[in-house]
Amino acid sequence: MSSGSDTDPLVSEAEIEATITLFYGRAREDALLGPIFRGAVPDAQWTEHIAKIIAFWRKVLRRQPGYEGNPMQVHVALDVLQREHFERWLMLFETAARETCRPHAADAFVERARLIASSLQHGLDFFRARDQAAG
């Protein structure tokens, strides 16, 4: 578990990096999530992808600049995500956060992850319903 040394922020840089690295390593090998990750992010781009995800979480949890992507657009484009994918993602994510973060940091990380997963699920439902209605 991290000690969270950068003046005890809600979630430290070290906790973000450790959680994301552990989680995505596991998710990439997971029977349900792995095929999606391996299909969407080639091996040669994996390190770059992890850096982008770390930047995303730094923006979410620490309000640091550096991430300028559109997660909704990326997830809609995958066109394979279902509720069970989000449930598995959250379970693996929470496990990683609780293994790598101080308790209050893990709680904050997991709370935000749940909100993001819920938002993505609702957005995917909206876009799928819109596309079905259109045609």
Q: pLDDT by residue (tens digit) across 9-65?
A: 789 999 999 999 999 999 999 999 999 999 999 999 999 999 999 999 999 999 999
Q: What pLDDT was estimated at residue 130? A: 79
Q: Distance between CA atoms of 41 and 83, rounded to whole angstroms?
A: 21
Sign of CA dihedral 74, 75, 76, 79: positive
Per DSSP, 51 falls in state H
Q: What pLDDT was estimated at residue 109? A: 95
Q: Distance between CA atoms of 44 and 95, rounded to whole angstroms?
A: 27
Which has the higher per-residue pLDDT, 1 or 11?
Answer: 11
Residue pair 66/15 in contact (Cβ under 8 Å)? The answer is no
pLDDT one-digit tens code per residue, 56-113: 999 999 999 989 888 888 887 787 888 899 999 999 999 999 999 999 999 999 999 9
Q: What is the pTM of this model?
A: 0.86
Per DSSP, 43 falls in state G
Q: What pLDDT was estimated at residue 8? A: 53
Q: What pLDDT was estimated at residue 4? A: 44
Fold of the 13-134 domain: Globin-like (1.10.490)
Residue pair 11/1 in contact (Cβ under 8 Å)? The answer is no
Cα–Cα distances in angstroms (integers) from residue 54 to residues 2, 15, 62, 65, 101, in the given order: 16, 10, 11, 11, 15
Enumerate residues 6+ apart whose C-beta is below 8 A from 46.
Answer: 28
Let me know if 16 is exposed, middle or buried by CB neighbors in 10 A (0-12, 13-18, 19+): buried
Which has the higher per-residue pLDDT, 28 or 128?
Answer: 28
